Chains A and B, each alone.
Chain A
Amino acid sequence: MEILPIALNTFREAVRDRVLYLILAFAVVMILASTVLGMLTVGGEEKIIEDFGLAMIALFGTAAALFIGIGLVFKEIDRRTVFTLLAKPIRRGQFLLGKFLGLALTLAVNLVVMAAAFFLLLAVRGLPAGGLWVAIWLTYFEILLVTAVAVLFSSFSTPVLSALLASTVYVVGHLTWSLKLLEEMIESPAARATIRMVYLILPNLEHFNVRGDLVHGVPVSWGHIGFATLYGLGYTTLILLAATAIFERRDF
């Protein structure tokens, strides 16, 4: 029961913060700008609009996750508001989970607004929306995972370092297939084992990326949607458990 008030307060903080609106406004502008990009290409205009729009939603969704994920947790610690809160009958895990759920709610609202702008654009242009919601659905679970990573890092390090580490995880998480490639090319068994380890530990964020398929009319199976959703939730849970273990040990 202690988690809910913390989550709601986190949501309230994000809603009263101007940074979120800035990111959101910029995102909407970029989504609308895909029309311009569509006009500049010869043929395939609708694919460009869809692909670019969805990519912007993913990009700005992730940016917001990193920004407020790191910002809101660090601010609690830096401004020592966390002292007042943790002196209440609250366990540290509850604090972290409440924080995370508040962020998850904020990012969901954020995503819904961006998606609304996107679908509105498609409707105005008379383009079929079809199964594009799947891309946005899976983007949300990717965002949750990235938020958990951001919370994990900011539970013990500085915001700049957290931002760096979390965005590294994001970038590498989209390139894990290249690690697999690397593993096949390398001779040294030790190096291969290391790369294999890194490949297994890092999240494979490409599971959440179905934009290419959707835009080109390739349907995404329910099996994959289910798998990616559970993969995201499972991974997010593991990261939050690790963050809690670290946060429990922390001295203020």
Chain B
Amino acid sequence: MPALELRAVSKSYRSQWTFARTPIVRELDLEVEPGEVFGFLGHNGAGKTTTLKMMMGLSRPDSGEIRLFGEPHLNAAIRRRVGFLPENPYFYDYLTGREFLSFMGRFFGLDGAERRRRVDELLERTGVATAADRPLRKCSKGMLQRLGLAQALIGDPDLVVLDEPMSGLDPIGRREVRDLILDLRRRGKTVFFSSHILQDAEMLCDRVGILVSGRLRSQGRLRDLVGDRVRSWEVTVVGGREPLPGEVLSRRQGEVLRRVTSEEELRALLSQLAGSDGRVVSLIPQRATLEEVFLRDVRQADDCAADSAGAPPAA
């Protein structure tokens, strides 16, 4: 049974004045298996936050169905098994970190002692123990983000939903959040996080989904999305009679770095080198990165939009 399941979920917003409906999320299908780290990627305004809000019951879909562990997502018992970190969280600034976490822990039926123990543990785990008794209005952005993570974990959830967990963090903070997510995976938790930072996803995710203008463009294992797609080869050669196939990227001390973009070209280059007294120093296949897959998806979506708008095809 999937930890999270979206079936044909759509959401649009109505303009307050013209009543025109703007679609935000369109016919979204998504499945996240238990124990998976799933990266929900998309540029700003793609509809990521709207999707997450629907999952958490903060807004309701126009149509479609959302299930958590096989149950309708608004089911109270199921909601106890889910933790959520909103985007740019802003908490009660008159509370201290400890008070805030303790308050949040009250909704999970923990008794006093258990709650205190859990709060202390999470303060430690998220690295805010030293600032635990400081009012939140005096806490830095990074500290608030960590407290946000701590409150998402207070109910020891099986599914953790994080909206842009790395945003606003310095490199150390991002590293810590990454470690925390990996730690959650080790504990067998399911993590679903949105991001527009692709490196984060590449380092963490088992699977990713790429959302473009409210539609899921690609979904799958990271390996399948980027893995075998070799886009070009970079070949460093010494000697050989010019002209050789491929584009010259750089020359240094007799070594020439060339790029070839097809297998035919590569074969031609190698045979010509063998024919003259050329030598291959290195040959590195360049695989697609998630960034390229992402940009391709965005571009395709733009083209579709341009086509359907009747615009002349790009030259």
Question: Chain A interface (Cβ within 8 Å of chain B)?
Answer: 1-2, 5, 9, 12-13, 16-17, 79-81, 83-84, 86-91, 251-252
- Minimum CB–CB distance from A150 to chain B (whole Å) comes to 20
Closest to B83 in A: A87
In the assembled complex, which residues on chain B have CB atoms less than 8 Å from the CB atom of A88?
79, 104, 107-108, 155
Q: Which of B134-160 contact A (CB under 8 A)?
A: 148, 151, 155
Q: Are A84 and B94 in contact (CB under 8 A)?
A: no
State whether the Cβ of B86 lies closer than 8 Å to any Cβ in chain A: yes
Asked if residues A252 and B108 are in contact (CB atoms below 8 Å), the reply is no
Set A2, A81, A251: member contacting B92, Cβ < 8 A = A81
CA distance A160 to B103 in the complex (A): 30
Q: Which of A79, A89, A90 has the most CB of B within 10 A?
A: A89
Q: How far is the CA of A80 from the CA of B89 in the complex (A)?
A: 7
Shortest distance between the CB of B190 and any CB in chain A (Å) = 16
Known: A17-B94, A81-B91, A251-B60. A89 touches B79 (CB 8 A): yes
Q: Which 9 A-B pairs have the closest CB atoms?
A: A251-B59, A87-B84, A5-B106, A83-B86, A88-B107, A16-B94, A89-B79, A252-B58, A87-B56
B94 touches A13 (CB 8 A): yes
Cβ distance A157 to chain B, nearest Cβ, rounded Å: 12
Task: List B contacts of A90 (CB < 8 A).
Answer: 107
* Complexed CA–CA distance, A9 and B108 (Å): 16
24 residue pairs of the A-B complex, CB under 8 angstroms, read A2-B107, A9-B95, A9-B103, A12-B94, A13-B94, A17-B94, A79-B90, A81-B90, A83-B53, A83-B84, A84-B84, A84-B86, A84-B89, A84-B151, A86-B57, A87-B57, A87-B79, A87-B84, A87-B86, A88-B104, A89-B76, A89-B79, A89-B108, A252-B53
| Supplied contacts A2-B107, A84-B89, 7 more A-B pairs, CB within 8 Å | A79-B90, A80-B89, A80-B90, A81-B90, A83-B86, A84-B104, A86-B57
Q: Is B80 an interface residue (CB 8 A)?
A: yes
Asked if A83 and B80 sit within 8 Å, CB to CB, the answer is: no
Contacts of B104 in A (CB 8 A): 84, 88
**A22, B258: Cα distance in complex, Å:** 75
**Beyond A81-B91, A81-B92, A84-B151, is A89–B84 a contact (Cβ under 8 Å)?**
no
Which residue of B is nearest A252, CB measured?
B58
**B205–chain A nearest beta-carbon distance, Å:** 22
Residues of B within 8 A of A5 (CB): 103, 106-107
A-binding residues in B (CB < 8 A): 53, 56-60, 76-77, 79-80, 82, 84, 86, 88-92, 94-95, 103-104, 106-109, 148, 151, 155
C-alpha gap A83/B104 in the complex (Å): 12
Residues of B within 8 A of A87 (CB): 56-58, 79, 82, 84, 86
> What's the nearest-Cβ distance from chain B to residue A92, in Å?
9
Q: How far is the CB of B17 from chain A (nearest CB, A)?
A: 16
Partner pick for A89 among B53, B80, B86, B103, CB 8 A cutoff: B80
B164 to chain A: closest CB distance in Å? 13
Which of B89, B91, B107 has the most chain A CB atoms inside 10 A of its CB? Answer: B107
Task: Assess whether A83 is in contact with B58, with CB atoms less than 8 Å apart.
Answer: yes
Give the chain A neighbours of B94 by CB distance below 8 A: 12-13, 16-17
Distance of A251 Cα from B58 Cα, bound (Å): 6
Roughly how many angstroms separate A9 CA and B104 CA in the complex, as a whole number?
A: 10
A16 to chain B, nearest CB (A): 4
Closest Cβ of chain B to A97, distance in Å, is 14
Across the interface, which residues of A come within 8 angstroms of B86, CB to CB?
Answer: 80, 83-84, 87
- In the assembled complex, how far is the CB of residue A94 from the closest CB belonging to chain B, in whole angstroms? 10
Task: Give the interface centre of A2, A5, A16, A83 by most chain B CB atoms within 10 Å.
Answer: A83
CB neighbours of B88 from chain A (8 A)? 80
- Docked Cα-Cα span, A84 to B107, in Å, equals 12
Chain A residues lying within 8 Å of B109, measured Cβ to Cβ, are 1
When distances are taken between beta carbons in the complex, the residues of chain A under 8 Å from B107 are 2, 5, 88-90
Which residues of B have CB within 8 Å of A84? Answer: 84, 86, 89, 91, 104, 148, 151
By a CB distance below 8 angstroms, the chain B residues around A16 are: 94
A138 to chain B, nearest CB (A): 32
B222 CB, nearest partner CB in chain A, Å: 28
Nearest-neighbor residue (CB-CB) of B107 within chain A = A88
Minimum C-beta distance from A89 to chain B (A)? 4
| A1 partner residues in chain B, CB cutoff 8 A | 109
Beta-carbon nearest neighbor of B84 in chain A: A87
A98 to chain B minimum Cβ distance, whole angstroms, is 11
Q: Which chain B residues border A12 with CB–CB below 8 Å?
A: 94-95
Rounded to whole angstroms, the CA-CA distance of A79 and B78 in the bound complex is 26
In the complex, residue of chain A having the shortest beta-carbon distance to the beta carbon of B154: A88
Cβ-closest chain A residue relative to B58? A252
CB distance from A68 to the nearest CB of B (A): 13
Complex Cα distance, B108 from A88, in Å, reads 8
Chain B CB count within 10 A is highest, among A1, A2, A88, for A88
